[in-house]
Chain A
Amino acid sequence: MSALPPSDPDELVGAAFDRLRADTAIVTTADGAPAVRASSSPTNGWLRLVVVTGVAVAAFAGLFTVVVGASGWSPSDELITTELASTDQTKPADEERSSSAAERVLDIGEPVDGTSWILISGGVGGQRIDVEAVPGPVTLIVGSTTVYGSDGCNDFDGTVSFYGAQLQIGPIDGDDDGCGDNGRYLDALRTVTEISFEGKGDNMVLSGVDVELVYERAGTVGEAVDARSETDPVRSVNEVLDMVPTGEFEVRGWLTRLDGGSILCGTQPSGGVVCPGRWLTLVGIDNPDAVGTLETTITGRLDDEERLIVEGTTDAELEVTVAEQAVVDALRAGDLTNSELAWHSDEVSLTLGGSVHAVVRTPAELADSAAWRLDPDAFFRARTGPFSALEALAAAETVDVSVGAHNHCAAPPMPLPAVQSVRHVAVVPTGIDSCIDWFSVDILFDDAGRVVAVNLDIWEP
């Protein structure tokens, strides 16, 4: 009765989702109460629902039957039935789970999760750091490889390396302008060697030979916003995090301020937002799809409702539109009379390497593929012409289409043609073995979605 597994990728995906749906299907018990196939840990699944949705459970009346699978995910697993006499019985398990989860985070996650810390006391070389002698809070945010903060006068940033529970901070880039004890604070940071947490994680201690810095938790941006992001349609940190693609640091979004209350905040010339006692700069944001590759600081201005507004580009704006994709597809297919090809009404620039060689064609001329061949007098990227964006596109088996600047193969990004455009869609080949096969075709669109220029670039050996 067992069918052969499908080999078509689409069917494989569909079958996997079908199995997932079947595995999570509710099993209705004889008395009509719902039961589910829960996960392997009895404290990790259904039991918790009894606590968090007490109203719903009460409505089910009587004993509550839970079917717990040995692994929870295989339809063939032996089912074990557990009856709960009352919701009270679930409380210890739930509390135990919460406690252990919190400890796990404190134990391993605190140093790199973007928590903002405020210095409450410290000293180095036998001299106390006077946190009251500077105009602003003395702060530190520890990222996975970078630290950020304020010495109470100026922002600074630097690098950090972890070796188990030991760390090394530095070099640090910040001004030592004699404002209070700010220089002493930076010196202290440069000499700390150990990181530890006290209490329930509300205090962080950085220490070393003859140095100790004690911090108080100011809050974690992610935690603060998580609570409202689920229901609030207003852009949240989570949404902004999702907008930060790998290598793209520009975002637009409303970031809820770290804490509520009526604290007035102001922007710093260096870009950070500083509030008396609290400040907010998002650092070391980890794109879940590019862990460890994205380290940046996102700053912005506060609006009237004290939301941090970060200007930039939304994810939707970074997506290739259907119309743009249609242009790419038509060009790849050499379908030069395709109605989806919207040319600028008068002239379209065809260029090599941005400005190395350029010609202007009319839309009528572009219907002839011969008009796409560019033949500069001199070498282009150490090769001789003619060169054609159309031919490059046609030769590529698979391509990646993206919006905005892109890297070149083993070379820095090159400038684009100097034409009036608002969108830049880049097509580069994928699955190539060598830079010799690399090219980019940059299609520049105006605000009406018409193509104003097509640029070809290749790799220079």
Chain B
Amino acid sequence: MVAAEPIEPNSFDRAALMAAPTFDSVFHAEYAAMVALAAAVSGSRAHAEDIAQESLAQLDKHWSSVVGYDRPGAWLRRVVINRALSQRRRLAREAKARFLLQRPEPTIDPAPPAVDDKVWEAVAALPGKQRAAVALHYLEDASVAYIAEVLDISPATVRVHLHRGRQTLRRRLEGGGR
């Protein structure tokens, strides 16, 4: 029998455990992290801030109920990840449409730092859930239990996602392709 892993709250959740967190304090604490998470999951830095802002706007809208949750930070991260995955899907559809209709790609996405090109290319090629799990792991040092809560999947599945994601990244970055 394996003991259940403790769920480590992130800063928002810690704030929620304190007395009377305000939207401002959560916003200050979480905005940058949400931009980073959105960028990693959506693969688009240009859209990452929009995603983070829209997600925080959702938090603002649902503040009275979300702040009462056990782990409101998990809720916010789930919103960001859902939006980031939707954004990525939209971009994929648009790219496909452009190809089919022979339209040029609009230049809306600034180039990321070249030093990490290969890494982000490899991250972007991961399946959505794997990408989200890897992003939470690297960006926030989140525990398996916490990632499971954010992604609404079992801890065992998180472990598989992380294992496969890291294995795939390693293979691709070592030049092994898929």
Query: Which A residues are in CB contact (< 8 Å) with B22?
Result: 59
Q: Does B11 contact A (CB under 8 A)?
A: no
CB < 8 Å: which of B32, B101, B129 contacts A164?
Answer: B101
Q: Are B94 and A36 in contact (CB under 8 A)?
A: no
Q: B5 interface residue, CB < 8 Å from A?
A: no
B35 to chain A, nearest CB (A): 4
Within 8 A of A (CB), among B1-31: 22-24, 27-28, 31
In the complex the two chains form, is B23's CB within 8 Å of A55's CB? yes
Residue numbers in B under 8 Å from A320 (CB-CB): 160
Asked if A71 contacts B103 (CB within 8 A), the reply is: no
Whether A26 sits at the interface, judged by CB under 8 Å, is: yes
Contact of A41 among B56, B108, B152, B176 (CB under 8 A): B108
Number of interface residues of A (CB under 8 A): 75
Q: Given B49, B55, B170, which contacts A9 in the complex, CB threshold below 8 Å?
A: B170
Given A24-B36, A53-B53, A222-B89, the answer on whether A325 and B31 have CB atoms closer than 8 Å is no
At the interface, yes or no: B150 with Cβ under 8 Å from chain A?
no
B130 CB to closest chain A CB, in angstroms?
9
A229 within 8 A of B: yes
- Complexed CA–CA distance, A461 and B120 (Å): 40
Q: Does B147 interact with chain A (Cβ within 8 Å)?
A: no
| Complex alpha-carbon distance, A320 and B167, angstroms | 14
Q: Mark B136-149, 1 if CB is under 8 A from A, else 0.
A: 00110000000000
B89 touches A241 (CB 8 A): yes
Check if B85 sits within 8 Å of A104, measured CB to CB.
no
State which of A20, A39, A165, A242 has its C-beta within 8 Å of the C-beta of B49: A39
- Contact among A17, A24, A34, A111 with B48 in the assembled complex (CB-CB below 8 Å): A24
When chains A and B are docked, how far (Å) is the Cα of A26 from the Cα of B152?
29
Nearest CB to that of B43 among chain A residues?
Answer: A288
Are B93 and A113 in contact (CB-based, < 8 A)? yes
CB distance from A315 to the nearest CB of B (A): 7
Is there an interface contact between A322 and B138, defined as CB atoms closer than 8 Å?
Answer: no
* Complex CA distance for A40 and B48, rounded to whole angstroms: 12
Residues of A9-58 contacting chain B, CB below 8 A: 9-10, 12-17, 19-21, 23-26, 34, 36, 38-41, 44-46, 48-49, 52-53, 55-56
Q: Mark A248-268, 1 if CB is under 8 A from B, else 0.
A: 000000000000000000000
* A202 sits at the interface (CB 8 A): no
Selected interface stretch from A210-218, A230-238, A352-360: A230-238
- Chain A neighbourhood of B129, CB < 8 A: 242, 315
List residues of B whose CB falls within 8 A of some A CB.
22-24, 27-28, 31-33, 35-36, 39-40, 45-50, 53-58, 60, 62, 75, 78-79, 82-83, 85-86, 88-90, 92-98, 100-103, 106, 108, 110-113, 115-116, 118-120, 122-123, 125-129, 134-135, 138-139, 152-154, 156-157, 159-161, 163, 166, 169-171, 173-174, 176, 178
Instruction: Spell out A's residues near B (CB within 8 Å).
Output: 5, 9-10, 12-17, 19-21, 23-26, 34, 36, 38-41, 44-46, 48-49, 52-53, 55-56, 59-60, 71-74, 104-105, 107-113, 144, 162, 164-165, 222, 226, 229-231, 233, 238, 241-242, 245, 286, 288-289, 291-292, 315-316, 319-322, 325, 398, 430-431
The 26 listed contacts between A and B (C-beta, < 8 Å) are A10-B170, A13-B119, A19-B115, A19-B116, A20-B40, A26-B32, A36-B31, A36-B32, A44-B50, A53-B56, A53-B57, A56-B24, A59-B24, A60-B24, A112-B93, A144-B96, A162-B101, A164-B101, A165-B101, A233-B152, A238-B82, A238-B85, A241-B89, A289-B128, A315-B153, A316-B153
Leading 3 A-B pairs by shortest Cβ distance: A17-B138, A9-B173, A16-B119
